[in-house]
Amino acid sequence: MKINKIANREDKMPNGEEMALYVQTLKRYIIDNPNVDEELIELINKVPSPRKIRQDFSFQEIKILYETVEYLWKKITGGAIIPDKEIIKSPETLKGNYWLINNGILLHGINHYDIIKRNTQLICSLLDISGMALQENLCSQPNKLIHFIIKHGGIRLFITNDRRLYSQMSPKIYGKFGRDKIRKLDFKYKVAKIIDLKAKYDGWTSGITIKL
C-alpha cells in the first residue's frame, strides 16, 4: 500500500540529482543546527548519502526514499518539497513570492524578506553562506538582505494572479541555470531582471530587463 501511494506520484518525483541535493541539505542542516530534535537527527543520519543516491540508486529506490525525505523536509522547513518537474508541469499552482535556489528548490512566503527570516539556517546550507553574515544582513534594510541573497545565488520570483512571472538574479546565475529555468515555465509573460551586483539595489526597479 505504501509503495502504491508513492508510485501514484511518479509524475512529480525528483530525479537522482535532485534527491541527492535534498538529502545533502538535510544532512548539512543538522550539522549546523545540533539542537534539532534528536529523533529527526537520527532519521536524517539513517538516510543514504548523497553520493550513494547519485551513483547507485535506481528510480524505484528513489521512489521509496522520497516519502521519508519529503517527511523530513516538511519537519525542517515547514513546507513540502516542490520538485523541479512539478514546477514546470503545474505553474498555475504557483502564486505570490518565492525564492528559487540551487536550480530547483522553491521557498514560498508572505514576502521575500519573510521567507529568508523563516528559513535562515536552511538558506545558509543551500547557498553555503555563513550564519553570521546572514544575521548581520537580517538586521539591515530588507533591500540589502534581498540583494545579499541574490548575490549569493538566489533567484527572486513574484508570480501574479493572472500568471505573469517576474524574476531577479545575478548575471552568473542567469547564465548558469536561471535563463533556462524561467524559459521552461509555462507563464504567459516572463521577465528576468539581471542585477549589477556593484550597483545600488532598489528592489524590483533594479536590473536589466530581459523578456523570456
Q: Average the pLDDT over 170-197 and give the result.
A: 89
> For the segment 101-149, what is each residue's pLDDT rounded down to a tens digit?
875 678 888 899 888 888 887 788 788 888 888 888 888 888 999 999 9
d(CA 186, CA 171): 23
- What are the extents of the domains in the chain? 2-79, 85-211
> Residue 9: is its pLDDT beyond 60?
no
Instruction: Provide the edge-to-edge strand list for the sheet that holds 164-169.
Output: 105-109, 96-101, 155-159, 164-169, 189-194, 208-211
Radius of gyration of the chain (CA): 17
Looking at residue 2, its pLDDT comes to 26
